[in-house]
Structure 1
Amino acid sequence: MASTLLELTAGIVSSHAAVSELSTDELVQEIQKVFTTLQGLEGGSAEAAPAEEAKGPAVTLKKAFQADQVVCMICGKGGMKTLTRHLAQVHDMKPGEYRKQFGIPSTQPLTAKKFSEARKQMARDRGLADNLAKARAVRMAKIQEKKAATPEKAAKPKAVRKKKA
């Protein structure tokens, strides 16, 4: 059965490595994790994988959110610009759950600072704020028109109900 576990491990890790970029150290860690998890599942201990997630963060909060990259605090994978997709695909977790698990404040974006700044600058260059302001002005004008048309209906006297004694 050991050869089957090795074959399964090789298949799983090669599939994962084909989708995401892994360094040599990350590849070795991934092989070890998958093999021990498969051994645990074979032995009947299905708690092998969740026990890993229950332990503390892989990196500190300061190291996790750097200017040019974001590192996952669960698995330690780095080099990402944003965490949202990684959390959903790899850990089946929502950003709110991630923040809660590691005590990350809601004011801390789950993106690299340079990435956020580049997106803001791109939006400014394209004039997206001006477009938003124009759209809001049009919407408010329509709301004002509706309000101006509805007072005619509101001016009708309402029927007075008698109170029951």
Structure 2
Amino acid sequence: MASSLLELTANIVSSHASVTEMSGDELLQELQKVHVALQKLEVESGEISEKPEAKGPAISLKKAFQPDQITCMVCGKSGMKTLARHIAQVHGMKPSEYRKQFSIPSSQALTAKNFSEARRRMAQEKGLADNLAKARAVRAAKMLAKGGEKGKPERSKGAPRA
């Protein structure tokens, strides 16, 4: 535990020193002050854990996934359209970890339903699926013309197998 407490102290003081000019003595005093303050916090709150313990959800699964917004089940923050960025930045979790922690089925999107529908409609209106199919056909024709590997076009990531 002492090494992580020292690391925290070093990070805090180095951040402070990067914006404030300090002499060597001032830097040492600052290190001591911050270290003592962190030790007091550690004693008051018990052991500082490296990873937060898995807690129960802040909100029920049904309430978390509303048609117009989605709520984080870890912290209870609501009003978001998508959840992946929030859980990565704030909680340091991957979507698969989040799903596992709260038993969310993989078929459940981590986005608000209305948001997903709007994106789907927009993609259909712009013909994005058609454009992708055309681009793949052009690429396949170019590969065949160049005499690619045994006449087979290269398979791009996400392309269906032939």
Matches of 1:72 and 1:125, distance apart in 2: 31
Change (3 A) 1:148 1:73: closer
Q: Does 1:46 align with 2:78?
A: no
Change (3 A) 1:76 1:148: closer
Match of 2:81 in 1: 81
Match of 2:16 in 1: none
Structure 2: state its 5+ residue gaps.
1-38, 152-162
TM-score w.r.t. the length of structure 1 is: 0.59
Shift of residue 65, structure 1, vs aligned partner: 0.9
Q: Where in structure 1 do 4 or more consecutive aligned residues deviate above 6 Å?
A: none
Matches of 1:149 and 1:71, distance apart in 2: 49
Match of 2:92 in 1: 92
Structure 1 or 2, whichever has the larger Rg, is 1
Match of 1:101 in 2: 101
Letter of the structure 2 residue corresponding to residue 95 of structure 1: P
Matches of 1:74 and 1:142, distance apart in 2: 49
Letter of the structure 2 residue corresponding to residue 69 of structure 1: Q
Letter of the structure 2 residue corresponding to residue 102 of structure 1: F
Count of residue correspondences: 112
Letter of the structure 2 residue corresponding to residue 87 of structure 1: I
Matches of 1:49 and 1:141, distance apart in 2: 52
TM-score w.r.t. the length of structure 2 is: 0.60
Structure 1: state its 5+ residue gaps.
1-37, 152-165
Matches of 1:48 and 1:149, distance apart in 2: 51
SS in 1 for 2:119: helix
Shift of residue 45, structure 1, vs aligned partner: 2.0
Q: Over the residues paired in the alignment, what is the CA RMSD in angstroms?
A: 2.7
